[in-house]
């Protein structure tokens, strides 16, 4: 039996639910990631996180068929991912029948999924991609693409040369580094540094 499974069994013995949930999230299911205990995850055994994954409050992950999230990927508040959907045109009943189709969702490493985005079944988001806040992603996203809208379309690209250089130098955002940061305030065409402030990221 693996150490993670042993920890899961020990955590289940704790009588206080909040403490049990907290320890489950951080030391049981997700020992090398930061997953908010306010995230809602179904079929948790079908969720695979590669490490240094950051999942914020009120994220909904429906992992019926399976969701894989790559290393160093950050997922903002209220993101919704679903790996199954109803069949509505079988001729059996309406608005949909009692069967579903299921496709895995695969998100590569170093991705950033903006707040209130929706990721549909079967979508493959390749490494380094950015999904703008409020997007509805219905098709796969290429490496280093920036997508936005409903349905999401490519609206820009990361600088691939800079991206590859940062990968070589292993300049990954560490989870603890997100507590404070330097914000850049933009006033018209003028940019200036605001200094360290508390972040709610």
Catalytic residue set: 86
Query: Is 79 in contact with 116 (CB distance < 8 Å)?
Result: yes
**Three-class SS state of 87:** coil
Q: Quote the DSSP letter at residue 140.
A: -
Query: Is 105 in contact with 62 (CB distance < 8 Å)?
Result: no
β 190-198/180-187 pair status? antiparallel
Q: Quote the DSSP letter at residue 178.
A: G
Instruction: List the structure tokens of 79.
Output: 């993101």
Q: What's phi and psi for 109, nearest 5 deg?
A: -80, 160
The span from the CA of 158 to the CA of 143, in Å, is: 9
């Amino acid at each position: 039996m693996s150490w993670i499974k042993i920890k899961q069994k020990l955590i289940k013995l704790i009588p206080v639910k909040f403490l049990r949930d907290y320890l489950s999230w951080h030391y049981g299911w997700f020992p090398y990631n930061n997953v908010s205990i306010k995230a809602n995850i179904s079929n948790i055994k079908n969720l695979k996180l590669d490490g240094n994954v950051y999942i914020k409050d009120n994220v909904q992950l429906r992992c019926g068929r399976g969701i894989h999230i790559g290393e160093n990927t950050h997922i903002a508040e209220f993101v919704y991912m679903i790996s199954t959907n109803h069949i509505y045109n079988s001729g059996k009943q309406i608005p949909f029948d009692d069967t579903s189709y299921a496709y895995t969702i695969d998100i590569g490493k170093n991705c950033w999924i903006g707040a209130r985005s929706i990721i549909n079944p079967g979508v493959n988001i390749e490494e380094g991609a950015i999904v703008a806040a409020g997007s509805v992603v219905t098709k796969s996203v290429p490496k280093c693409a920036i997508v936005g809208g409903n349905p999401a379309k490519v609206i820009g690209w990361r600088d691939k040369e800079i991206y590859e250089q940062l990968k070589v130098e292993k300049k990954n955002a560490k989870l603890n580094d997100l507590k404070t940061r330097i914000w850049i305030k933009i006033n018209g065409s003028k940019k200036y540094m605001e200094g360290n402030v508390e972040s709610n990221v």
